[in-house]
Structures are given as structure tokens and as C-alpha cells.
Amino acid sequence: MARAMWNGAVIAESNTYEVVEGNIYFPREAVNRAVLKDSTTHTTCPWKGVASYYDVEVDGKVNKDAAWYYPEPKDAAHNIRGHIAFWKGVQVER
């Protein structure tokens, strides 16, 4: 089982996930969507495509751009479509 935690809260938990470049990508349905707030940030990976970001908000504290996903990943990254990954102090363990 993989789990993502921040500010004392479990924000994602799943027995199924994808690992790409050392990052755990959780299925969207395994993530507590109530803690995700849309961000205007976007970055581009040459082989995965354009990433979109969420701020993670727990108990009034905001972790800017701490979650990301690829809404339309390139073919080489098709396995992470519909998945969300975390960084910036979010503890991810498996």
C-alpha cells in the first residue's frame, strides 16, 4: 500500500499505483480531492507532456503546487493518465 501524508492528514492511499522516475502516482479516486485546490502552474516534460498542478490545503495550511498530474500524457506515459503525484514536503511511503 502507498500513502501520501501532509500536515498530519492522509491525502492519498492505495494498493494500486504507478511509479515513474521514483515518484508514486496515485489513482485519482484514491486521493482526497477535498484537499486539492486548482493551481495555474503548468510545466512541460519532454516525454510525459504538460503537467498541471494542485495546491494541497489541510487545516488552513497551503502547500503550493504540491501535487501534479498529466491531463493528456504523451503515449510513453499513458500509464499515469488519471493519476496524481506529490512532492514539496508531502510524505509518500509504500
pTM for this predicted structure: 0.97
Altogether, the residues listed in the chain come to a count of 94
- What's the CATH number where 60 sits? 2.170.150.40
Count how many domains the chain has. Answer: 1
What's residue 43's pLDDT? 98
Per-residue pLDDT of the chain (94 residues; tens, 9 = 90+): 999 999 999 999 999 999 999 999 999 999 999 999 999 999 999 999 999 999 999 999 999 999 999 999 999 999 999 999 999 999 999 9
Helix runs in 1-94, H state only: none
Exposed e or buried b per residue across 28-54, where buried means at least 16 C-beta atoms within 10 angstroms of its C-beta: eebbeeebbeebeeeeebeebbebbbb
User: In which domain, by residue range, is 55 found?
Assistant: 2-93
Q: Which three cell numbers stand for residue 44?
A: 512541460
